[in-house]
Amino acid sequence: MKLLIDMNLSPRWVEALADAGIEARHWSNVGDGAASDREVFQWARRHRFVLLTHDLDFSRILALAGGRSPSVVLLRTHRLLPSDSAATLVQVLRRHAAEIETGAVVVVGPDRYRVRLLPLKPPA
Distance, in Å, from the CA atom of 48 to the CA atom of 80, rounded to the nearest integer, reads 24
pLDDT digit string (tens) for 23-47? 999 999 999 999 999 999 999 999 9
How confident is the model at residue 69, as a pLDDT?
93
DSSP one-letter code for 76: -
Q: Is residue 10 part of a domain?
A: yes
Mean pLDDT of 84-89: 94
pTM of structure: 0.94
Domains in the chain: how many in total? 1
Domain annotation covers residue 89: yes
Give tens-digit pLDDT for 50-63: 999 999 999 889 88
Inside any domain, residue 124: no
48 in the Ramachandran plot: left (φ > 0), alpha (ψ -120 to 50) or beta? Answer: left
Residue 122 maps to a domain:
no
Q: Average model confidence (pLDDT) for the chain?
A: 94
Taken in order 80, 10, 70, 98, the sign of the CA dihedral is: negative
Residue 12 has pLDDT above 90, yes or no: yes
* Whole-angstrom Cα Rg for the chain: 13
Q: φ and ψ at 76, to 5 degrees?
A: -110, 70
Task: Calculate mean pLDDT across residues 65-80.
Answer: 91
Q: Would the pLDDT of 123 be above 70?
A: no
**% the chain with pLDDT above 90:** 82
Cβ within 8 Å of residue 60, ≥6 positions away = none
Of the chain, the percentage scoring pLDDT greater than 70 comes to 98
